[in-house]
């Protein structure tokens, strides 16, 4: 599977922090005249949006959906359109400020598009979409997705191990994240005390750590994980992690851990901003499992499992 987390932020930490906190109140900016023109883009000259679009699969996806010989501008426009669609933004195909705001928010390192499949919008899933009904009987579409080929675990009792260097004070939050999934599925999780190989191996690393996907320091990529039945999940040790529900200037570890366990179990990214499987997370943001997440796990592992 393609993990493309190497998205790096340079300088502008104060500005980025302000942008992240202001995210919920982003005004609708008028479209910029071309993909390259943006007030914000010209301000944040060191932000490499091309690298972002490439790392998370958007450039290859756009190239594959255009005619042979398409220009770089055409490819970029489709890449930006796809990103805007995935993140619920106005579809302008232009690198406007709203789009830049969204790219600047730290996120999971798992790519949104893997092996040519946009895991956030999949037409075949849309056609047979597992719609759910709320208490009033209204129908809602689902926004979750799975990895290509829908890999999943053949059993539901999974062991886990912490690698050396994982902080003791983060273990309770990791276990609370496991518990969240256990509460809505047939899965249960237990710590392997070292007698056999674990299903899930949990690491906490700074920079390069041997899987070809080095972490990038503070912000940018927060964590990444591999789909079934790999079981590896890694957290960026350079992040300012919070172990309290709502610490405004930190990232909530249990929320991120819950997201990454979703990948471990086979869930891809969701376009539902309320879902735990939405790719990005603002500072201080706390999330529970959403309806979309619970739908996703019960579709991938339908009861009785």
Out of 213, 260, 274, 288, the active site residue is 260
d(CA 101, CA 44): 11
Does the footprint of Zn ion cover residue 230 (CB under 5 A)?
A: no
What is the nearest approach in angstroms of Zn ion to the Cβ of residue 31? 29
Q: Which is nearer to Zn ion, 93 or 262 (CB)?
A: 262
According to the annotation, is 238 in a ligand binding site? no
According to the annotation, is 292 in a ligand binding site? no
What is the nearest approach in angstroms of Zn ion to the Cβ of residue 169? 21
In this structure, what token pair is assigned to residue 155?
């059993």
With CB under 5 A as the contact rule, the residue among 211, 229, 230, 238 that binds Zn ion is 211
Pick the stretch among 38-46, 127-135, 168-176, 209-217 that binds Zn ion (CB under 5 A).
Answer: 209-217
According to the annotation, is 37 in a ligand binding site? no
**Quick check: is 260 catalytic?**
yes
According to the annotation, is 209 in a ligand binding site? yes
Residue number of the CB atom closest to Zn ion: 108
Does the footprint of Zn ion cover residue 108 (CB under 5 A)?
A: yes
d(CA 175, CA 166): 13
Q: What residues are paired with 140 via a beta bridge? A: 132
According to the annotation, is 211 in a ligand binding site? yes
Pick the stretch among 104-112, 180-188, 189-197, 250-258 that binds Zn ion (CB under 5 A).
Answer: 104-112
Pick the stretch among 127-135, 167-175, 182-190, 226-234 that binds Zn ion (CB under 5 A).
Answer: 226-234
According to the annotation, is 11 in a ligand binding site? no
What is the nearest approach in angstroms of Zn ion to the Cβ of residue 205? 7
With CB under 5 A as the contact rule, the residue among 102, 219, 234, 287 that binds Zn ion is 234
Does the footprint of Zn ion cover residue 110 (CB under 5 A)?
A: yes
Taking the CB of residue 250, how many other CB atoms lie within 10 A of it? 15
Does the footprint of Zn ion cover residue 80 (CB under 5 A)?
A: no
d(CA 270, CA 144): 4
Does the footprint of Zn ion cover residue 257 (CB under 5 A)?
A: no
Size of the site for Zn ion (CB under 5 A): 5
For the chain, the DSSP string reads: --B-------S-HHHHHHHHHTGGG---PPPPSSTT--HHHHHSTT--HHHHHHHTTHHHHHHHTS-TT--HHHHHHHHHHHHHHHTT----SS--HHHHHHHHS-EESB-SEETTEETT--HHHHHT---EE-TT--EE-----B-TT----S-SEEEEEEPTT--GGGHHHHHHHHHHHHHTSS-EEEE--SSS--SEEEEEESS--SSS----SSSSEEEEE-TTTT-EEEEETTS-EE-STT-TTSEEHHHHHHHHHHHHHTB---S-TTSTTSSB--TT---PPPHHHHHHHHHHSPSP-
Pick the stretch among 63-71, 81-89, 233-241, 247-255 that binds Zn ion (CB under 5 A).
Answer: 233-241
Q: Which is nearer to Zn ion, 5 or 35 (CB)?
A: 5
Q: Which is nearer to Zn ion, 19 or 233 (CB)?
A: 233
According to the annotation, is 169 in a ligand binding site? no
Q: Are 280 and 107 in contact (CB under 8 A)?
A: yes
Does the footprint of Zn ion cover residue 233 (CB under 5 A)?
A: no
Rg (CA), the chain: 19
Binding residues for Ca(2+): 199, 216-217, 236, 239
Active site residues: 260
Binding residues: 108, 199, 209, 211, 216-217, 224, 234, 236, 239, 259, 263, 269, 277
**Residues making contact with Zn ion (CB under 5 A):** 108, 110, 211, 213, 234
């Amino acid at each position: 599977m393609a993990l493309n987390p190497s998205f790096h932020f340079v300088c502008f930490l104060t500005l980025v922090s302000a942008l992240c906190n202001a995210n919920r109140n982003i005004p609708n900016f008028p479209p910029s005249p071309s993909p390259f023109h943006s007030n914000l883009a010209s301000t944040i000259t060191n932000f490499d949006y091309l690298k972002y679009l490439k790392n998370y699969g958007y450039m290859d996806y756009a190239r594959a959906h255009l005619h042979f010989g398409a220009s770089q501008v055409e490819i970029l426009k489709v890449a930006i359109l796809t990103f805007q669609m995935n993140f619920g933004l106005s579809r302008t195909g232009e690198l406007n400020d709203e789009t830049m705001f969204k790219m600047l928010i730290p996120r999971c390192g798992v790519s949104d598009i893997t092996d040519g499949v946009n895991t956030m919008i999949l037409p075949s899933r849309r056609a047979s979409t597992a719609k759910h009904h709320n208490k009033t009987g209204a129908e809602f579409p689902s926004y979750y997705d799975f990895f290509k080929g829908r890999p999943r675990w053949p059993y539901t009792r999974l062991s886990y191990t912490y690698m050396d260097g994982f902080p003791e004070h983060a273990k309770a939050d990791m276990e609370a994240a496991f518990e969240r999934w256990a509460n809505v599925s047939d899965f249960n999780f237990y710590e392997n005390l070292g007698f056999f190989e674990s299903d899930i191996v949990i690491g906490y690393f700074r920079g390069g750590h041997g899987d070809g996907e080095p972490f990038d320091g503070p912000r940018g990529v927060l964590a990444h994980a591999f789909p079934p039945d790999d079981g590896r999940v890694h957290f960026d040790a350079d992040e300012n992690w919070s172990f309290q529900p709502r610490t405004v200037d930190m990232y909530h570890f249990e929320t991120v851990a819950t997201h990454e366990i979703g990948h471990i179990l086979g869930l891809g990214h969701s376009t539902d901003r309320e879902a735990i499987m939405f790719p990005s997370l603002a500072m201080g943001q706390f999330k529970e499992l959403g309806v979309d997440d619970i739908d996703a796990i019960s579709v991938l592992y339908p009861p009785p499992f």
